Amino acid sequence: MANLLSNLFKKSRGPLFVNLQPSGERFSVQPKDTLLQAALSAGVPFPHDCRVGTCATCKCLLVEGKVKAIMDFSYTLSREEMEQGYILACQAMVKSDLTVALDRPLEGPQHTVKSICGVIRKSEQLTHDILKITIELDESIIYEAGQYADLSVPSLSEPRSYSFADAPNEQGQTTISFFIRHVVNGEMTGWLHAADRTGVKVSITGPYGSFYLRPSDQSIVCIAGGSGLAPLKAILEKIFKMGGNIPVLFLFGARTQRDLYCLEVIDEFSSSWNAPFHFVPVLSEEPADSDWSGARGLVTEHIKDLPEIRVANSKAYLCGPPGMIDAAISKLNECGVTGEHIFFDKFLDRYHVEKKMHHSD
């Protein structure tokens, strides 16, 4: 009888709540939601990016309460951080009322995360391994340039995350596009690249991410690698719509000439921008005897001052593979750009996330 009453009490228990310090925000948690999911569902702009436990953007201090880790926090957090009580909100299942503290202010997009059905209306090959898909949604989605969404296909097992490639309208978008690079062993990318999927029904969930344009009159340095061009293209489109009056140094890293794309769009930016706009494509594996007369080597080797742009006085937006991001941050620091002026989105595909997690066990 005692066990029965105990179980009934547990089932009838009210919702759990989370208190955020120092903002004072308070929100409820639905069953099976992570701490991050609960915050985003409540419209709280909780800092986050990858949502799979690798970037540590959602790191917070557990002041009071209990959580259950989906993935071992030590994969991403240091021993010192673990001892101090830090957790990853995206990997924390809430098991009691919580009080958590953030080291950074609650700021950024507060758009509601929602799931929307749609249809692939166009599939366009941009390079030999990057595809642009255009999706018509059943209803509009509101997001910030730089953010991303999860794409789901009924016949595939798991959703995958892709950045919006276009700047949105303030009223929301019913047509969206993604740039999708083919990943070896990638279920979603393999399926999309294998055939023309025009007409296939899909769904998206979003928006997600803390990568977006910060209000500022400072010049900006944009550094993209591969399909990391998508969110930076969206950010530049937003600036263009606002008048294009901010000086820009845009570095785009690719392997060879056949890996360059969206050059017409970038040329339009350059010719119509109302401030200095310098676009520098950098090729790392272009044959020495080719007709390429542009920059070569690693894209991060070409971060330098220009007559109209002093890197140290700029904000930097970076998007691409982790190695490129880490090297760019180091170089920007050397040039005098401090961490609070560097914003980035590391592209790490799910296959390599799972592979790294397996090797860390």
Q: Please report, to the nearest 10 degrees, the dihedral formed by the alpha carbons of residues 263, 269, 272, 276 taken in order.
A: -110
**Per-residue model confidence (pLDDT) at position 357:** 44
Domain 114-208 has CATH 2.40.30.10: yes
| 3 state SS of 229 | helix
Domain 2-101 has CATH 3.10.20.30: yes
CATH code for the domain defined by 220-350: 3.40.50.80
Domain boundaries, the chain: 2-101, 114-208, 220-350
**Tokens read off for 240:** 């263009």
Question: From CA 319, how far away is CA 60, in angstroms rounded?
Answer: 24
The answer to whether domain 114-208 and domain 220-350 are alike in fold is: no
Instruction: Please enumerate in sequence order all residues whose Cβ is within 8 A of that of 318, keeping only pairs 6 or more positions apart, or say none.
Output: 222, 223, 224, 228, 324, 325, 328, 329, 342, 343, 344, 345
Provide the edge-to-edge strand list for the sheet that holds 277-283: 295-296, 277-283, 248-254, 220-225, 315-320, 342-346
- How do the pLDDT tens digits run along the chain, 361 residues long? 555 555 554 554 678 999 999 999 999 999 889 999 999 988 899 999 889 898 889 999 999 999 999 999 998 999 999 999 999 999 999 999 999 999 888 888 888 889 999 999 999 999 999 999 999 999 999 999 999 999 999 999 899 999 999 999 989 999 999 999 999 989 999 999 999 999 999 999 999 999 999 999 999 999 999 889 999 999 999 999 999 999 999 999 999 999 999 999 999 999 999 999 999 999 999 999 999 999 999 999 999 988 889 999 999 999 999 899 999 999 999 999 999 999 999 887 554 455 444 444 4
**Per-residue model confidence (pLDDT) at position 6:** 52
Q: Please report, to the nearest 10 degrees, the dihedral formed by the alpha carbons of residues 346, 273, 239, 249 taken in order.
A: 30
